[in-house]
Structure 1
Amino acid sequence: MRKLVVLKLDGDLHLGVQVTLEIGEEGKRPTTEMTGKLPSNLDMATAIAQWESTYRNLWKFTRIKAKKIIYDGSISQRRKECDTKASEVREHLNNWLLSESFRPVREKWLKHLMPDEEVRVLIRTHCLQLKKLPWHLWDLIDRDYLKAEVVLSIPESEPVTAALQTSTFRNKIRILAILGDSQGIDVEQDRQLLEKLPNATTTFLVEPQYSDINDKLWKQPWNILFFAGHSKSEAETSCIYINETDKLTIDELRYALRNAVANGLQLAIFNSCDGLGLARELQDLQIPQIIVMREPVPDQVAQTFLKHFLEVFSSGQSIYAAVRTARQRLKGIEKEYPGASWLPVISEHPAVVPITWLKSRWFFNTRRLESLLLLSLLVTAGVLGIRHQGGLQTWELLSYDQLMRSRPQEKQDSRLLIVTITEDDLYLPEQKQRSGSLSNLALARLLDKLAQLKPRTIGLDIYRSEPVQPNQAYLTTRWQTDDNLFAICKVSDRTQNYPGVPSPKGVPPERQGFSDIIPDSDHVLRRHLLAMQPADPTSPCTAHYALNAQLAFHYLKKEGISAQYTPQGDLQLGNVVVKRLGSRSVSKGKSHIGGYQQADTRGYQILLNYRSYQGSPLEIAPKVTLTDVLKGKVNPDQVKDRIVLIGTTAQSFRDYIPTPYMSEQGSSQEIPGVILQAQMVSQLVSAVMDRRPLIRVLPVWGEVLWISGWSVVGGAFGYAVSQTLALMVLQTFPIGDRSGVYLVLAGGCVLVILYVLCLILFYQGIWVPLVPSTLVLVVTGGTVAIYLSSQPSLQQLISTK
């Protein structure tokens, strides 16, 4: 944070000077204030007048139009005399500032300011005599506080206009450069220096007419006004020579300049002679900052100053650092041009917001681009490594659930009808001899009723452990002869010491389907097991396909679509290839697929694309109860040529499976097994008949590209944040106020865009990595933003606030 020191000087060298000292941080109220006094000093008044006379007697050609000067003595003698007078002025100045009456002010300065701090020393006075003093030679500034720079100003704190409250440069800095009368001097060098500036558009007016300048100032906005040529100050009037015959006073440009300030004019640079008078009149127009030459300036000095000033200023450093550096560089040519380092001075409005030149490609160069890509690669590799070890699986599955829930609802699948056995159905007269959820008598009557309504396929999602009695042989006959009737069984599992459940006796193997599922570690079912080879040959269930797959195959066969396998071993239904999860070559069934790491991929698995109606997977298809069917209350159109699934929904049997959806209590919504079978049947049939997408994952290389791409996006966003932070500094928004909220909102928008893209792709059937992409986006973006914001160029900007 730059410190601001204000010295208000009231008086002159003849009468003495009342001094008020204020010290504080830039942009804040002063925290320290005291008064002191400097005595009259006629010797210094004489010394500064003699130095000025000697200096002006040095040059024949400067950027001033004056009367003819008669030069006495050789140039070397005049240079030596000028150096002598300069030393006298410096000695008088420092002795004066060591006066006993000024000592408290000096001690307060030393107490509250550190030598390594950047300090703006604002000299506020009306006295031109005091403004002409070489304040930069004060030993505190020249010897002890090397980052201090003196700025001239006026005592009054006038109301601040909108132009003074901002230091914003547009996308490109707009410069109006007036190259005036160049008789005896060379302003072409100034032009060449301005043309090389980065991130700037310069309009040149070469020896223009007054109307040209006036029109430009009125009709277009400018950030910087530059003048090179002859100028002169006399008494209360200053003028610039715009061509060989015409000159302009500041008063003649008053209204045009006020309009320019209102439109964003921030800085006026007059690389011409005798500029303190110009600065005084321009300051009355509230031009925020003005750089002038306090005395006549030779061409070489003017060009050298401009060159070094623009190099530093356009690199992003403060205007004070730029003037200080350029002034110090002029010291190197003072053997030939005595007093050169005394000439440049900044004059500014007391309420000015210091401006800084920020290049639009400030941080963007080849080396930073390479660093950004390398960082993105490293972050991507790190996140992929964590993901490969399973560190993100829980979060990825939760994001999968969120994407599943966020999709728009769909219509019910009218190709299905679900016959449910509810709690009330358990107490029907036909259920008196039941041993499970459905007695043989109730089942036989249910099948008879359905047969009259001509369904295409019937699937029984109820284990039939109840034996068929001799007087119920018709049920066994139906098992054997009804080609559209499919029954369920369960494969044994030696690892869990589970014996398995057979299908009803008499059902041929081709009409049996297993009920086995593969829930995830959180018990939520996200995968659809289509087929498998039972590991135990002694299992009572040896079905190769799931019940839902058998029902879908039978239904589609009537549509002329048969299940077959591609040469690559993938299941194909018509024109739809059902890509399996994992690889057939994985012997132990452990694979890295999408968000799954070390997943059990044995058998033929796909992701289950739940169908949701009215926000619930329970409403997959029309439902009727056992009572409705037995009492003939079912619409025949709901059954004819449909897939009918029979299963229990009674809570007492607890045939419920958690899904990615949420219940009203905030836990995973559970659905009955028969509804789950309906979801799976609908998934296969809809994929073929309706082109409803099956959910698939990207190949490994595709996921790597997707994640690394978002890492690059994060790096680019981090770069943009650092740029925006710099612009916030330039626009004088306090760090951490509402502008910080805007940055957070911008980051939130990028995350929303990522989520929306993932949701759109998910709706199209592609599960892309959301959690890893979010991680690399945030980590890379945050790292780049923090790194670039910590760079000296931006820190220097922030320190000026």
Structure 2
Amino acid sequence: MQLIELEIPEGSFTEGFKVRLHIPVEGDRAAVSEIGMLPPKPELRAFYQLWYHQYEALVQDRLGIARNIAHGGDVATCEHLFQTWRNTVKQWLQSPELYKIALELTRSLAKAPLMTQLNIKLPIPSSIDDDWSLLWKLPWHTWELLGPYAHIEPILTPAIALPIPTAQRRPNTGRVLAITGGNLTDGKRRVDDNSIIAHRESIDLQDSINELKTLESIKLLCLEHPTEDTFIDALNHPQGWDILFFTGHSGMDENGGWFEINPTTKIRAEKFQLTLRNACQNGLKLVIFSSCDGVKLAQELSCFNVPTLVAMREIIPNTVAQQFIKGLIQTFTISTAPSNLATAVRSARATLEGCSGYPGSTNLPMIFQRSPQVLPTWEDLCQVHSLGQSLGVWRSLPILLTISLLVSGLVIGLQLLGWLQAPELSAYNRLMLHRPIEAPDARLLIVGADEGDLQTYGDPIPDGILAEILTILNQHHPKAIGLDLYRNIPLPPGRAEFLQELNTNPNTIAACLTSAQNVDDSIAPPESNRTDPFSGFIDFYNDDDITPSDPTLRRYLLSKNDNPTEDKISHCTTNHSFAILLIDKYLTQKVRQTQEPRNRKNSTYYWNFNGILAPHLNQNSGGYAQLDSRGYQVLINYRNTENPRIISRQINFRDVLNQSFKAEWVTDRVIIIGNVAASKNDEHHTPYGNISGPVIHAHVVSQFISAVEDQRPLISWWPKWIEYIWLFSWTSVTSITVFLLRNPVYRSMATVLIVISIWGISQTLLSWLGLWIPPISIILATFITGFSVSCFIYWRIVK
């Protein structure tokens, strides 16, 4: 916080005032000192007196106070006189003689308005009628250059700064002593060890009292019209006080300041000066006087070591006092934005603009400091830290946990109904896209028929071309060859040669189509006399059947149960997928085991790849809620290469037939042959965009080979009961965090940080462990919990 000092050391309204500006060193900026002048303005005193006489008459009329004024107060006249005085002050502060000071001050405020404090240093007046006394009463807050900066409130300080006593620190609970010189509006006398506030008769501050009572961070003691001994004893409490609050009658006479602590007793400031000094030594940091004639009282009390005071410059009507205290408490203790005392007073002053019956009431509040220092926040005054607030958390913990439990139950219900499935799957796509980049898989080779191949050899590719390709590739001993092309009917010439290659090479896998939607559309594999599983289905299942308008391919059917269709039998009778057979061929030849699930009707069965169990999807796995989980479905762990459409080296048919490739590209590799030409319409939507069918099969083959040989994780998810505990944990963290943060802005920031953390953890776990934790449900629960706890806090305040 930068402390700027504007000092007026000497002068008068008839001769002008000398002004000094001092801006201390800040960062790489040197200290600034400027000297200027406020020119003579003798009419200011006359304008002030005209307004004050009208204002005093209005107040005394409505309080029923006898006065020696020949005419009654008039609101319109009073308003006109105040505007005249205020405008004259504003013009005076814009004098050319003050230009350099105003320029430097504006530059400093513009640089960091939230971290700047303006102290105006004035000599202590020798009498209530001298020019210095009037300077203390000027509406400094109306200075034009302060207008854009809502956080700046001028603070008045004696020209000769007085030392601030070192106060003792107490445990993390603020202590507030409030004294009233009148009766509570409900007529009930209250003296309670846990709550204290004082009111002047006919001032209704019950709502403000209730707000203070809801704060867990303070110990609030209220004394209503106490006796002198009771007042002194309370102020002398060994645990001390952080804030002293007085509402009632007060004033100044030739013997000094006095306070009316009950309807029959006035106590002079000098009478309890030792008690006040001890209270300051024991931790008293702020005194608030909602009473009349506060300027001289503040100056007198500052001599008794009070660091900071909020007081009223003139006599104050009850309605104005009530409105100001209400605004001050709401802004200072339950602020919607970070605020210190200056910001709170400025905001509370703004609420007085509604007191139109008392023109000039906005000029009444003032902050007085014994010596320039950073003004405290409510947390500073009450020493509110996590330890202190945790006491309130422990008392409210059952309610907070109940809120967390209810919100968790609500979100779990939304999950089970399937209402969160679409956003969860969309979030899954985003998480997949932001995983680390991986290198292409060198164990695979894709031989794709592109547009050039179709033009050269015909469409569809004849059997003889495929036979020649198979012959050339098998010369280099691949581990497995997958033929992702339908060969259910002959495509001459070369059918016999093709079938011979298929039947004599057990590492070659053909394709067929189950077509579960319509058996008539199923496609059989080519005829063969092989007894081993030589064909696998190449069906894909995207998610538009469970989430409308979402054709994304996220899962793959490794194997299926017996055909559920009762009246017709599919032409593709195999229960194994194209990819699973290629994986088995590769791992078996590498002296590794692939074990098929034994009990297909048991939901706990697993495909076992050399000890790696493939997690299979159930109806409510991960973010799914209405999944048709028949068969053995897994999530495709796409290899996030620079271009996911290219998972491995890829060559075309012409390259093979012309033998324009290296042998090591084929030897011990898994080869997938298929169409990659755009005209074949064999592209499917994935989290990474449209990818051709052969490349998707390659992704599936790669994910299981990599899991065995590289320990690359397969995508898995938690059981639902662990997800529910995880969800409840985050709602509990959110509820406690939001409860601890009294400021709504901080609550919102904390909630956003929690959401970012949830997303970050979900991204990290999916990227490095392959663990899919659906984040949308938790994020939704976090926002609902934060809102619910904020409503709970507000309800407590209102109650």
1:101 to 71, 74, 83: 71
Say whether 1:657 aligns with 2:693. Answer: no
Query: 1:781 aligns to what?
Result: 786
Say whether 1:372 aligns with 2:372. Answer: no
Say whether 1:35 aligns with 2:45. Answer: no
Query: 2:625 aligns to what?
Result: 597
Distance 2:532 2:431 in 1: 38
Query: 2:114 aligns to what?
Result: none
Distance 2:622 2:479 in 1: 37
The verdict on how the C-alpha distance between 1:163 and 1:20 changes in structure 2, with shifts beyond 3 A counting, is closer
Query: 1:770: Cα distance to partner?
Result: 0.9
Say whether 1:518 aligns with 2:518. Answer: no
Specify the code of the residue in structure 2 equivalent to 1:592: N
Specify the code of the residue in structure 2 equivalent to 1:769: P
Query: 1:278: Cα distance to partner?
Result: 7.1
The verdict on how the C-alpha distance between 1:350 and 1:365 changes in structure 2, with shifts beyond 3 A counting, is closer
Distance 1:520 1:464 in 2: 28
Query: 1:678 aligns to what?
Result: 698
**Structure 1 unpaired stretches of 5+:** 1-16, 22-33, 40-89, 110-124, 131-152, 178-190, 202-221, 227-232, 293-311, 320-346, 583-590, 662-668, 726-739, 796-801
Distance 1:249 1:755 in 2: 54
Distance 2:793 2:140 in 1: 38
2:475 to 439, 449, 452: 452
The verdict on how the C-alpha distance between 1:774 and 1:38 changes in structure 2, with shifts beyond 3 A counting, is closer
The verdict on how the C-alpha distance between 1:170 and 1:484 changes in structure 2, with shifts beyond 3 A counting, is farther
Aligned Cα RMSD in Å? 5.2
Query: 2:506 aligns to what?
Result: 483
Query: 1:502 aligns to what?
Result: 525
Query: 1:157: Cα distance to partner?
Result: 5.5
8 Å CA contact 2:424–2:774 kept in 1: the answer is yes
Q: TM-score, normalised by structure 1?
A: 0.58
Say whether 1:765 aligns with 2:770. Answer: yes
Distance 1:785 1:683 in 2: 46
Q: Which runs of structure 2 are paired with 1:22-101 in the superposition (5 Å)?
A: 35-36=54-55, 94-96=64-66, 101=71
Query: 1:749 aligns to what?
Result: 753
Say whether 1:402 aligns with 2:430. Answer: yes
Query: 1:552: Cα distance to partner?
Result: 0.5
Query: 1:509: Cα distance to partner?
Result: 5.1
The verdict on how the C-alpha distance between 1:444 and 1:317 changes in structure 2, with shifts beyond 3 A counting, is closer
8 Å CA contact 1:173–1:223 kept in 2: the answer is no
Query: 1:198: Cα distance to partner?
Result: 8.1
Distance 2:76 2:676 in 1: 91
Query: 1:96: Cα distance to partner?
Result: 1.1
Query: 1:175: Cα distance to partner?
Result: 8.9
8 Å CA contact 2:489–2:526 kept in 1: the answer is no
Distance 1:494 1:173 in 2: 70
Query: 2:722 aligns to what?
Result: 702
The verdict on how the C-alpha distance between 1:509 and 1:100 changes in structure 2, with shifts beyond 3 A counting, is farther
Range that drifts further, 468-477 or 413-422: 468-477
The verdict on how the C-alpha distance between 1:470 and 1:355 changes in structure 2, with shifts beyond 3 A counting, is closer
Distance 2:288 2:451 in 1: 91
Distance 2:538 2:405 in 1: 45
Query: 1:299 aligns to what?
Result: none
Query: 1:555 aligns to what?
Result: 586
Query: 2:574 aligns to what?
Result: 543
The verdict on how the C-alpha distance between 1:471 and 1:547 changes in structure 2, with shifts beyond 3 A counting, is closer
Distance 1:235 1:494 in 2: 101
8 Å CA contact 1:492–1:540 kept in 2: the answer is no
8 Å CA contact 2:557–2:634 kept in 1: the answer is yes
8 Å CA contact 1:266–1:355 kept in 2: the answer is no
Matched residue SS, 1:101: coil
The verdict on how the C-alpha distance between 1:97 and 1:371 changes in structure 2, with shifts beyond 3 A counting, is farther
Specify the code of the residue in structure 2 equivalent to 1:748: V
Q: Which runs of structure 2 are paired with 1:269-418 in the superposition (5 Å)?
A: 279-283=298-302, 287-289=307-309, 349=366, 360-361=388-389, 364-366=392-394, 368-418=396-446
Query: 1:779: Cα distance to partner?
Result: 1.0
Query: 1:574 aligns to what?
Result: 610
Say whether 1:267 aligns with 2:286. Answer: yes
Distance 2:729 2:655 in 1: 56
Q: How many residues align?
A: 543
Residue by residue over 1:46-81, the C-alpha shift from the partner in whole angstroms, topping out at 9 and shown as x without a partner, is xxxxxxxxxxxxxxxxxxxxxxxxxxxxxxxxxxxx
Distance 1:792 1:577 in 2: 55
The verdict on how the C-alpha distance between 1:92 and 1:174 changes in structure 2, with shifts beyond 3 A counting, is closer
Say whether 1:461 aligns with 2:484. Answer: yes
Query: 1:417: Cα distance to partner?
Result: 0.5
Say whether 1:441 aligns with 2:464. Answer: yes
1:724 to 730, 743, 759: 743
Matched residue SS, 2:687: strand
The verdict on how the C-alpha distance between 1:720 and 1:539 changes in structure 2, with shifts beyond 3 A counting, is same
Residue by residue over 1:387-422, the C-alpha shift from the partner in whole angstroms, topping out at 9 and shown as x without a partner, is 211111111110110111011111111100000100
Matched residue SS, 2:524: coil
Distance 1:175 1:678 in 2: 71
8 Å CA contact 1:267–1:289 kept in 2: the answer is yes
Say whether 1:632 aligns with 2:659. Answer: yes
Query: 1:427: Cα distance to partner?
Result: 2.6
**Structure 2 unpaired stretches of 5+:** 1-47, 80-123, 130-134, 157-168, 178-192, 197-214, 220-240, 246-252, 258-267, 313-328, 336-340, 342-363, 370-374, 545-549
8 Å CA contact 2:486–2:523 kept in 1: the answer is no
Distance 2:434 2:284 in 1: 51
Query: 1:354: Cα distance to partner?
Result: 11
The verdict on how the C-alpha distance between 1:391 and 1:277 changes in structure 2, with shifts beyond 3 A counting, is closer
Distance 2:771 2:334 in 1: 49
Specify the code of the residue in structure 1 equivalent to 2:427: S
Distance 1:470 1:36 in 2: 112
Distance 1:223 1:492 in 2: 78
8 Å CA contact 1:455–1:644 kept in 2: the answer is yes
Query: 1:482: Cα distance to partner?
Result: 0.4
Residue by residue over 1:184-238, the C-alpha shift from the partner in whole angstroms, topping out at 9 and shown as x without a partner, is xxxxxxx9999xx98589xxxxxxxxxxxxxxxxxxxx96699xxxxxx996899
8 Å CA contact 2:731–2:782 kept in 1: the answer is yes
8 Å CA contact 1:289–1:348 kept in 2: the answer is no
The verdict on how the C-alpha distance between 1:792 and 1:576 changes in structure 2, with shifts beyond 3 A counting, is same
Query: 1:572: Cα distance to partner?
Result: 1.0
